[in-house]
Amino acid sequence: MSEPGDKPVKRRDFLGIAAFGTFLIASATACFGIVRLFLPKLSPELSRRFEIGEPQGFLLDEVKVPAGRSVYVFHDTNGFYAISAKCTHLGCIVSYGPQGFSCPCHGSRFASDGRVLSGSASKALEWYAISLAPNGQLVVDEGKTVKTGTFFNV
Ligand code: FES
């Protein structure tokens, strides 16, 4: 709105002001991005190695999914083993049941040891290494895969 006595803004001046404003916004955004590169992350990544409890805390034939993890941990007469819950097709989280694993995304099915039975996935589910920490806790290492059928015994 213009008041009586105000000078109208010329078209050329308006475009110049708009261009300068755009330049300032772009510069501020770029500076924010550069500064952010040097700030520590507020949410650190989860470690790929994590404790899942003491061996005696597992019942025979028990299956656990550690909180916040995409891995199934099994304890049976062969020992302990951990199988990734990430489908090898496109990474959806598989569910586990009496028939083995099934993927909700494209229908891949896996045997209870992770072998592919049907569907789009072409690779078996990964098995992760399990070890015993000095404090007596079982540790799953998602960064270290082992051959299917590798059991950990205490
Ligand atoms: S992501 Fe599991 S079948 Fe495609």
DSSP result, 98-133: TTEEE-TTT--EE-TTS-EEESS--SPPPEEEEEE-
Report the b/e string of 29-53 with b at 16+ CB within 10 A: eeeeeeeeeeeeeeeeeeeeebebe
Residue 108 near ligand 1, beta carbon < 6 Å: yes
Ligand 1 centre to CA of 99 (Å) is: 17
Atom nearest to 121 CA in ligand 1: 3
- Strand pairing partners for 76? 79
pLDDT at 109: 98
Closest CA to 73 of 7, 120, 130: 130
pLDDT at 78: 95
As averages over each run of 10 residues, the pLDDT of the chain (154 residues) reads 67 83 90 80 78 95 95 96 98 96 97 97 97 96 96 94
CATH of domain 49-146: 2.102.10.10
- Strand pairing partners for 129? 141
Ligand 1 atom 1: residue of nearest CA: 90
Whether this model's pTM surpasses 0.85: no
Residue 92 near ligand 1, beta carbon < 6 Å: yes
Ligand 1 atom 3: residue of nearest CA: 106
